[in-house]
Amino acid sequence: MKIAVTGLNATDNPGPGVPLIRSLKFEEKFDAEIIGLVYDALEPGIYMENLTKKNYLIPYPSSGLQNLYERLFYIHQQEKLDVIIPTLDSELFGFVKLEEKLRELGIKMFLPTFDQLNIRGKDKLFDFCIDNDINVPKNILVSSILDLQKIPEEFDYPVVVKGIFYDAIIANNLEEAKTAFTKISSKWGLPIIIQEYLKGDEFNVVALGDGTGNTVGAVAMRKLYITDKGKGWAGITIYDNNLIEISKRVIQSIKWRSGMELEFIRSTETGQYYLLEINPRFPAWVYLAPNAGQNLPYALLQLALGEKAEQFDKYKVGTIFVRSSWDLITDISVFEKITTKGEI
């Protein structure tokens, strides 16, 4: 069996591909070869020993679906892929659009639907939470700098200025909000989300929904160390029934079909959890889940293959991950091969 995985960019802003592969290999029953699908010749996963059997460059989503399909078609001819597991936000819409055509080739995936992807979008999350009685920070959508004048009518500074896909900047006044608006909109487009700033501790949940409303498993984590890019560099599994129950309620409401990461903040003022974001894929810290007793990536693979996945209801609290930087040394011929031939 051959499983293709994307997102091998294990950098200081890591993609989930490498930890997802490590999770699959963590499972004793796992017996398949991994094919890496990479966007850049320097994605570190290419250079890690015993991680993938082969790696192929694939075109960026912005270059069009037909290009991606043709490249996947070629890779499938070489490798006879059984499953593709896309792991990055930016490529998900493309893979969802290609799902039918890839299925016709015999390639299986386990992805959310368009509607599910849209519901959890940053611009729709507020309405979803209100409809489902889930606490969420107040927010407004703005499409021009002039709209920022409305902020004091809705809530006090500081506010969080967020891009539609990525980026979030805290603004303490109108001037800072304008600067953040310009910076984020030039990179990620419009609208911009202006969100109430809540003071508190951040908690994250990695979960897997089977598409019927059932939660296959869910593991909660608190970041112990955060980089200046806001990425968790160390974290610990924690358990709070409220947190897991809210996550299950989200999956039930959306009938989520795939892996996901839910980001919460527990307000210092109210002690309540507020849902900040739903990321439509496993997080880069997903390798913590199998080590705490829930191999959610392996369960996703089973679901993609049409098999029954193990139902998880507990995990080990106090399991810690600590990320590290590690230099991989290689010869220029390796880099040359992936750059010129697009595969290695």
Partner 1 sequence: MKSFLIPDNIAISDSGFVFLPSTGETFTLNEIGKHIFKQLQAKKSIEEIAQQIQNEYDVDSITVERDIEDFILRLKSLNLVVQV
Q: What's the closest the beta carbon of residue 207 comes to partner 1, in angstroms?
A: 18
Please name which of 282, 231, 273, 242 lies closest in space to residue 110, comparing C-alpha atoms: 282
- Asked if residues 24 and 301 have their Cβ atoms less than 8 Å apart, the reply is yes
Q: How far is CA 22 from the centre of its chain?
A: 16
User: Which amino acid does the sequence have at 185?
Assistant: S
- Site map (CB under 8 A) of partner 1, residues 278-317, x = contact: ---------------------------------------x
* Residues of span 249-268 touching partner 1 by CB under 8 A: 266
- Site map (CB under 8 A) of partner 1, residues 78-107, x = contact: ------------------------------
CA–CA gap between residue 127 and residue 184 (Å, rounded): 23
**Considering only 26-34, 73-81, 104-112, 233-241, which stretch makes contact with partner 1 by CB under 8 A?**
233-241
Please name which of 118, 135, 279, 120 lies closest in space to residue 196, comparing C-alpha atoms: 135
| Helix, strand, coil distribution of the chain in percent, nearest 5 | 35, 25, 40
CA–CA gap between residue 211 and residue 202 (Å, rounded): 27
Q: What's the closest the beta carbon of residue 294 comes to partner 1, in angstroms?
A: 16
Contact between 248 and partner 1 by CB under 8 A: the answer reads: no
Q: Are strands 33-38 and 54-57 parallel, antiparallel or unpaired?
A: parallel
| CB neighbour list of residue 175: distance below 8 Å, 6 or more residues apart | none
Residue of 115, 199, 318, 332 that binds partner 1 (CB under 8 A): 318
Please name which of 259, 250, 339 lies closest in space to residue 295, comparing C-alpha atoms: 259
CA–CA gap between residue 23 and residue 297 (Å, rounded): 6
Q: What's the closest the beta carbon of residue 136 comes to partner 1, in angstroms?
A: 21
Residue of 239, 252, 255, 337 that binds partner 1 (CB under 8 A): 239
- Site map (CB under 8 A) of partner 1, residues 193-232, x = contact: --------x-------------------xx-x--------
Q: What's the closest the beta carbon of residue 208 comes to partner 1, in angstroms?
A: 22
* Residues of span 62-81 touching partner 1 by CB under 8 A: none
| Token reading at 109 | 């995936």
Do you find a cis peptide bond into 158, omega within 30 degrees of 0?
Answer: yes
Q: What's the closest the beta carbon of residue 200 comes to partner 1, in angstroms?
A: 11
Nearest residue (CB) to partner 1, 320 versus 328: 320
Q: What's the closest the beta carbon of residue 222 comes to partner 1, in angstroms?
A: 4
Q: What's the closest the beta carbon of residue 134 comes to partner 1, in angstroms?
A: 19
Residues lying near partner 1 in the complex (CB under 8 A) = 201, 221-222, 224, 235-240, 266, 317-318
